[in-house]
Amino acid sequence: MIKIEKAKLEKNHKILIPDRVLQLKIKWGEDQSLNLVNIYAPNDTKEKEAFYKKLMEELKKEPQESLCIMGDTNCILDNIDRSLAHTDDKKVTDQLRKVISKYKLPDGWRIQNPDKREFTFDQRVSGATARIDRMYLSRELHEVAYETTIESNFELSDHSLIMTKIIENNLPYCGEGMWKLRESTIAMGDFQKETGKIVKEFKKWANEYEHFEELFDKETEKVKEKCKKGNDPQTKWREVKGKIKKIAIEEERREKKKKELREKIKKGHEELNKENRTDKEKVKEDLKRHKSELNKIEKERVENARKSAEARYLNKGETNSKYWFALNKDKKPTNVIYALQNKEGKITKSTRDMNKIASEYHKNLQRNQKWMKKGKKK
């Protein structure tokens, strides 16, 4: 399914292969066109091979501009698009690849989701799932297509829908938009740690630069030469912001991925508990894969922290530094106060009330010191 933004349509269609291929040509906007070829490939291997040969013959009969081949291909070109290991007949896949190669048709969904596994068809008997429904867009269409997704079939079919949006050519350039650092990202410990190092390095450089500025009148050429190499404050600060942005984006992606995996794991456990579920082995396989991916992300984070700690120890661990004293200091458990008693003897757990009691206590403690009374002059 294709959604066309701001379109005034002129269309005509014809059948290329009866019951198998329908072509719909659309003109819209000032100079844009769409050449949609909807296919339904047979299940039988020999028929499938003959089908793709016939499709190539039909497409060669006239120029095919702005081509989009979409529909049920009934075969898989890459193992990532199938839940259970199985290889399609090479003669069939070769014929399909010839069509794709001839008209330079990339798989839009796969380009936007290079590592994602999502399927469009669920074979209930065997429990196998695959992404046999695909959309191949020509390069000129691919440049104006966005948000290619796999959506619910709305009970129209037993296959999921492939959807994309195509915008009008020659729209004004709007840029990438404004990037904003999220408060939730700032609160992340790893983010604070990494960006803290970057800011600390910049402050150190800024102090050195101020020293150079003081020498400007005396050693003008030396200062100018240093600034020529990108060592001016504007360039350095831009680099700092770029590094912080990169770290923030990586952290946000990692957290988003972890959240998605946790949701999938939770959903998988719920599906396993359903008595009428017939493909429990597949659900177990997916659960195992999602848990493995989540463990890998956490393992990478822990490994990076370990390497950082090891490097810091090798650098400062044996010197009389603040780090050495902190490393060898006795670690005492934190005493947590869960409740306080007020003047009336009532126990309260309210944070606001506890703050008030503690504040009053310390005021009275200072006010009633005996040494203060003894030190007063009469």
Chain segment 293-321, per-residue pLDDT in tens: 888 877 777 676 666 666 666 665 556 66
Looking at residue 378, its pLDDT comes to 43
Chain segment 243-276, per-residue pLDDT in tens: 999 999 888 888 888 888 888 888 888 887 877 7
**C-alpha distances in angstroms, 77 versus 139, 265, 311?**
20, 28, 45
Rounded mean pLDDT of the chain? Answer: 80
Looking at residue 74, its pLDDT comes to 93
Contact 340, 357 (CB under 8 A): yes
Task: Lowest mean pLDDT of 114-128, 141-155, 358-372, name the range.
Answer: 358-372
Contact 111, 143 (CB under 8 A): no
Looking at residue 315, its pLDDT comes to 61
Task: Lowest mean pLDDT of 43-47, 175-179, 353-357, name the range.
Answer: 175-179
Q: Where in the chain is the domain with CATH 3.60.10.10?
A: 2-166
Looking at residue 258, its pLDDT comes to 86
Chain segment 11-50, per-residue pLDDT in tens: 688 899 999 999 998 887 667 788 999 999 999 999 999 9
Contact 119, 162 (CB under 8 A): no
- For residue 221, name the pLDDT band (cuts at 50, 70, 90): low
Threshold 0.75, pTM exceeds = no
Pairwise pLDDT comparison (206 vs 5), residue with the higher score = 206
Give the domain 2-166 fold: Deoxyribonuclease I; Chain A (3.60.10)
Task: Lowest mean pLDDT of 51-60, 147-156, 189-198, 363-372, name the range.
Answer: 363-372
- For residue 169, name the pLDDT band (cuts at 50, 70, 90): low
Among candidates 295, 243, 235, which has minimal Cα distance to 265?
A: 295
Pairwise pLDDT comparison (360 vs 52), residue with the higher score = 52
Taking every pair of Cα atoms in the chain, the longest distance, rounded to a whole number of angstroms, is 116
Helix (H) or strand (E) run with residue 97 in it: helix 90-102
Torsion of CA 73, 129, 161, 167, to 10 degrees: -80
The secondary structure of residue 318, as a DSSP letter, is: T
pLDDT above 60 for 68: yes
High-pLDDT (> 90) share of the chain, %: 20
Three-state secondary structure of 295-352: HHHHHHHHHHHHHHHHHHHHHHCCCCCHHHHHHHCCCCCCCCCCCEECCCCCEECCHH
Looking at residue 3, its pLDDT comes to 54
